[in-house]
Amino acid sequence: MLLFQDDFKNFAIGEFPYDPDHSAMGEYHCVTEEGYAGAWKDQVCNYTYNGHGPSWMITEEDGSHYMESCRIEKDNPHRMFPTLQTGSLLWRDYDVQVRLRRLSTKGMAGLAFCMNDSIDTLVFSLEGRSQVRLSWRHKEEVQVLAAAPWKWDCDSFHSLRASCRGSHVECFLDGEKVLEADTPLAARGGKIGITADCPTQFTDVSVQVSEETAAAIEEAGRLQAAEEARLQAAFPAMKLCRKLDLGNCGGGRQIRFGHLTGTKEWFAVIPQAQKRVDGDAYGHISCLTAVRLSDGAVLWQKGEPSLQAARLGKISADLPLQVYDIDGDGKDEVITARNFRILILDGATGEVKKSARTPYSDDDDRTVIGAPFGIYAFDRINPDGIRIANFRGLDRPSDILIKDRYCRVYALDSDLNLMWKYKSPKNTGHFPMAVDVNGDGHDELLCGYTLLDCHGSPIWTYPIEDDHTDEIVAGKFMAGSGKGYFACVSGTEGFFIGDFQGRIRMRDRIGHAQRVSVGNYCPDREGFEIAVSNFWGHQGVIYLYDCFGNPLWEMENEKNGNLLAPVNWTGDGQDLILTNPDPKAGGLLDGQGRRAVAFPDDGHPVMCCEVLDLWGDDRDELVVWDYQSLWIYTQADGEKETRYHPVKYPMYNASNYRGEYSFPDAEFLTFRESTEQEEE
C-alpha cells in the first residue's frame, strides 16, 4: 500500500524555499521561509551559505522534475548533511525508495529513513566513487553499520530502496540487495528524507507499507491525538487578553519590559535599529518607543520611527538596552546607548538623566576579536549589549556592563564612570554572566569561557579555545551536590556543564548548541532538568537532560525560534517549556516533550515571544509580537492564588542570549564557593 509518493511535479521550476540572508534570526525568532514546500521541510542551514543561493532547487528534463541538491560544503564550521525530510515519527515497517543521479561523485547522496530528526537518522547512501553504506548519523558522529564496494557513475540514475521490518534493514541498489543489518533504530521507525553533500538529482520518492501496517499507523495517530487532547485538557488553555497595534514603531525580539512610572503598570520599550558598516556587527538604535501594555498608548518616543519597521527590526543580535531602577528611586530607568553615548533615561518621560561618551576603541584593531575586515569601524565603542551587575558589592545591583561584539567588556558605575575594562584573548560570547560565586557580595563575571573577579581580573578559564558561548545558566541544579554549576551552550563546542573552579564536568557535542534553560520540567525526577536546542547546521532539535547532564530525550518540531523558556503556567511547581508561538508546531511542552498547551489558531503574530508574570498572581503570561502588533495571552481559568513562586532571570537583564532558569527560591542562586582551581 502506498503511504507517500512525490515526483516533484507539483513544484514549479525554481528554488525550494530558503532564507536568502541565512541569518541568525531563527535563533530566537520564529521565521518561515516564503514559497511552496509541499510536504517537505529543510532543517539544515548555515551562515556560510549567505550569498550562495538555495540548498535545493527544482529542475526539469524531458517532462520529469527533479529535486536537486546544491551544497558541497561539508564540515564548516561543523559536520553538515543537507537533508529534505517528510513524513511522521509514527511511520514504521516500510519500504522507502528514491531514484537519484549524482552529478558529482565527490560526495554522498542517498536516503534518510527511520529519522527521529535531521541529525538522528539512518542513511543508505552512495559514498564517493567506491562504496555503498548504511550508517547512523547522530549529533556530530557517523557510525557505519554496513558497507560494500560499488563502482561510481555520474551519468545514470539509480534506484535506492531501504526495507525495514522490525529491527532488520535490507538495502537494495537497482533491485539488488547490497546491505543488511539489525538495529533497534530501525524498529523505532520515523520520518524519511533525501540527503546529499554533492550535486544530486532526486525524483520518484515513495513509501510503501502493508495494509495492516497502514491501519496500525493510522490508529497510532488517532491515539496520539487523543492523548494530546487529554493532556491539554489537564492544563488551562490560553486566553487572549490584549491586542495592541504597534503602528510604525514595531521591532524584533529586542523589546524590554518594565515599570516606567513607579507603579505596577507594565510598559514595553521597543527599539528600532540601523545596521552600520557590516550587517549586525554595529547595530545602532535609531528610535525608542515606550508603550503602555494595557492599551498600547505611547508614553514617549526618542528618535524617529521608520515606515520600514521590518527592516529596522531585523537585527540578529542584542541591542544596548535595559529597563531597571538603577538609582533606587522606585521607578525604572531606561539604560541604553545611542550615537556613542551611554544614556540613562527617565522611565516616565524619556528625558536624559545621565549621559557619558562610550570608551575609546584604543586597542590594536588586529587584536580585536570579531571586528569585521580586521578593523574596528569607529573611534569609540559601539555597545553590543548591556548587563546590570553588582561589582562594587552594594545593597542592590547598580553597575552597568557594556561590551563590544566579541572581545571587550567595560564596567561602569551608576554615574557612568569607567571602573575597569577587560580585553579577552578568547571570544567573550554574547552575554557574559554576572554572579556572586564566592558569596562576598561582589559579582564575578563568566566572560565567554573565562571567570573574572569583580575588578575584571581573570581567575581561571575553561579549556576551550574556539567559537563562543551563546548562553549561560548558573545554579544549584544538580541534586544532592549543594554546589553551583554553569550550564553553557557554546556553538560548535556543544553543550557543557562546568563547575565554579574551571573544570568541565560533562559535554555533549550536538552540533551548534544555541539555547539553554533549567527548570522543574519533570517534577517526579530529582533535581532540575536542562533543556538545550541547536541552530546552524541541523537546527531546531531540542534536547532534555537530567540534572547531571544525562540525556533524556531529543525531538524536533521542524520550527526555528525555539526559546526553551520555563513557563510557570499552573502555579503548582511544574515548569513547562516554551518553544515558539506557532499554532501547529509551537506551544508549551511538558517534561516528556508533549505539547501540553497550544497557541490558538487565531491569526496572532508568531515571530517573537516572551514569558513574564504581568498580572501578579505568579503565573506567567505569554507576550507574542511581530513588527505590526503585540498580543498577550493568559490562563483561561482566570487569576488565582498559587503556592509556587519561582525565582527567574530578572527582566532587567533581558537578552536574546540569556540562559533561562526557574528555581523555587533564591537559595538555588546563592553561592559560597571557592573559585580557585583544584587538582582532581
Mean pLDDT of 162-170: 98
Would you state the pLDDT for residue 160?
A: 98
- Nearest-angstrom CA–CA distance, 430 and 278: 17
Q: Is the pLDDT of residue 308 over 80?
A: no
Would you state the pLDDT for residue 75?
A: 81
Which tens digit of pLDDT belongs to each residue from 530-542?
Answer: 999 999 989 999 9
pLDDT over 90 percentage in the chain: 89
Would you state the pLDDT for residue 641?
A: 79
Mean pLDDT of 166-176: 97
SS3 650: coil
Would you state the pLDDT for residue 639?
A: 81
Mean pLDDT of 221-234: 98
Q: Is the pLDDT of residue 678 over 70?
A: no
What is the DSSP track for 264-297? S--EEEEEEEEEESSTTTEEEEEEEEEEETTT--
Cis peptide preceding 77, ω within 30 of 0 = yes
Would you state the pLDDT for residue 40?
A: 98
Return mean pLDDT, the chain: 95
Mean pLDDT of 649-669: 97
E strands along 62-219, which residues? 64-69, 83-86, 95-102, 108-117, 120-127, 131-138, 141-149, 158-165, 168-173, 176-182, 191-196, 200-208
pLDDT over 70 percentage in the chain: 99
SS3 242: strand
Mean pLDDT of 295-316: 85
pLDDT band (50, 70, 90) for residue 152: confident
- For residue 2, the tally of other CB atoms under 10 A from its CB is 9
Would you state the pLDDT for residue 312?
A: 67
Q: Is the pLDDT of residue 143 over 80?
A: yes
What is the DSSP track for 443-473? -EEEETTEEE-TTS-EEEE-S--SS---EEE
Which tens digit of pLDDT belongs to each residue from 477-522?
Answer: 999 999 999 999 999 999 999 999 999 999 999 999 999 999 999 9
Would you state the pLDDT for residue 679?
A: 59
Would you state the pLDDT for residue 310?
A: 67
Q: Is the pLDDT of residue 78 over 90?
A: no
- For residue 59, the tally of other CB atoms under 10 A from its CB is 15
Would you state the pLDDT for residue 419?
A: 98
Query: Lowest-pLDDT range, 50-54, 122-126, 432-436?
Result: 50-54
Tell me the three cell numbers of residue 261.
Answer: 512610572
Which tens digit of pLDDT belongs to each residue from 237-255?
Answer: 999 999 999 999 999 999 9
pLDDT band (50, 70, 90) for residue 315: confident
